[in-house]
Amino acid sequence: MVQQDKLIYVGVDLHKQHHTAVFINCWNQKLGEIKFDNKPTAFLQLVKEVKKHVKKGMSVVYGLEDVGGFGRALAVYLTESGCWVKEVNAKLANARRKSHVTIQKSDSWDAECVAKVLRDELHNLPDAKPIDLYWAISQLVTHRKWQSKNLTNMVKRLHQQLGYHYPSYKAFFSEIDGKTALAFWHKYPSPKHLTGVWAEELAKYLRKLSNNGLSTKKAEQILSLITADGDTTRDFQEKRDFIVRGLVKNIRFSQRELKRVEEEIGGLMKELGFQLETIDVVTAAELVAEIGDIHRFSSPDKLARFAGIAPIAVGSGNKHRNYKSKQGNRELHDIIKALAIRQIAVTRTKKEPRNPYFHAYYEQRMAAGKTKQQAIVCIMRKLVNVIHYLMRTKAAYVIPVVSSNQAA
């Protein structure tokens, strides 16, 4: 272990265009400062400037906040150059800045606060390990979220437009953005395009689209609903038809793009070698994107704290109580919560638990007096153990057998 008086602490305030670095010694004395561009060709300036303050027998440790964002290129450069790099939680640096009587805000001061946190919390901070594979997965997951959000918004707009043209449109198809439905909206964006179309002609068109899944009965139902709705044609109808067809084209494109992104995610996930088939690929990728290298967390407890699932112990005198944590990685917290809720769900048809083990555990927690939310948190904590084990060992998940006593 390196002695603290043999170290120079470099805190870096990161931005999109440029970074600011401040160097301090173990006595919190400021040794120097440098501002440099956020590009690989400028990073050497930082290393050269730091070396001016390094005496014989001394070492350097760098502290960066946004290792996965604006600071990633610098983190990659420093680690590949053999430098010691630590990841500093932005909340720690912000708390350090606010702890002074007079609160100030500047790139220089922010960088110095990062350096001071680095000095005080050196052995509690994780090493920065920017691995390209995890980063690529993270980027694809983010891209998928934007595509999915864009698709959802377009489907909402299609609902709005169809409501003007076909008041009973929701009864036409089970999903308005399904393959058959989209083809129907594109060919018949409003009822006037169905003028003179007989049930058998429409049924022939629907059968072709649905691989014979829809019959003449469906065609007759649609035409009957349109008749019951009455005439919805208005002036400049062709302009609104143009909007419907445009939305259909955009929805189709987004659906294809979403599928392509998920295929790319699946390919990268296979390279990691995880056997997370029981979790869908997208959820597994979201977990990997937020957790990164699982070996950063030596135990499930540390992963639980990172995800904000472990309770916060608060005590004073003889009074002690655990409170729900609002800290940690909230994205990861929400992913695991959604996964926990899925574990206690039941099938639509037979109403059987999808995961008997977790469903039985949920019932046990409820019987013990827990609220629904508290019981879900208990499942989340168990899931952290499972996720930590599966990612470290690359083993396949097997649902535990529930005994009759547990199921009762």
Taking only the tens place, the pLDDT of each residue in 197-214 is 999 999 999 999 888 888
Domain boundary among 130, 145, 167: 130
- Of the pLDDT bands very low, low, confident and very high (cuts 50, 70, 90), residue 238 is very high
Calculate the average pLDDT of the chain: 90
Same domain (yes/no): 140, 245: yes
Same domain (yes/no): 286, 348: yes
Dist. CA 114–CA 50, nearest whole Å: 16
Same domain (yes/no): 170, 220: yes
Backbone phi and psi for residue 214, each to the nearest 5 degrees, phi listed first: -110, 140
Backbone phi and psi for residue 319, each to the nearest 5 degrees, phi listed first: -100, 125
Same domain (yes/no): 87, 125: yes
Range list of H helices, 52-131: 72-80, 90-98, 107-120
Kindly report the CATH number assigned to the domain that includes residue 67.
3.30.420.40
**Residue 206 included in any domain:** yes
Q: First CA to last CA across the chain, in angstroms? A: 54
Same domain (yes/no): 151, 216: yes
**Residue 340 included in any domain:** yes
- Of the pLDDT bands very low, low, confident and very high (cuts 50, 70, 90), residue 99 is confident
Parallel, antiparallel or unpaired: strands 84-87 and 59-64: parallel
Reference 385, options 317, 258, 273, 297; nearest CA is 297
With a cut of 70, say whether residue 406 has pLDDT above it.
Answer: no
Report the interhelical angle of 107-120 vs 90-98 (nearest 10°).
110
Number of structural domains the chain divides into? 3
**Sign of the C-alpha dihedral computed for residues 298, 304, 308 and 313 taken in this order:** negative
**Residue 159 included in any domain:** yes
Mean pLDDT check: name the lowest of 12-21, 87-96, 149-158, 237-246: 87-96
Same domain (yes/no): 242, 299: no
- Would you say how long the chain is, in residues? 408
Dist. CA 357–CA 382, nearest whole Å: 11
The answer to whether the CB of 75 falls within 8 A of the CB of 67 is: yes
Same domain (yes/no): 301, 402: yes
Same domain (yes/no): 186, 153: yes
Dist. CA 310–CA 332, nearest whole Å: 13
Same domain (yes/no): 287, 242: no
Q: Quote the tokens at residue 190.
A: 């409003």
**Residue 319 included in any domain:** no
The answer to whether the CB of 382 falls within 8 A of the CB of 361 is: yes
Same domain (yes/no): 247, 300: no
pLDDT at 267: 93
Range of the domain at 104: 4-130
**Residue 305 included in any domain:** yes
pLDDT at 405: 55
Same domain (yes/no): 105, 79: yes
pTM of the shown model: 0.81
Reference 75, options 10, 137, 124; nearest CA is 10
Q: How many CB atoms lie within 10 A of CB 344?
A: 19
Same domain (yes/no): 167, 191: yes
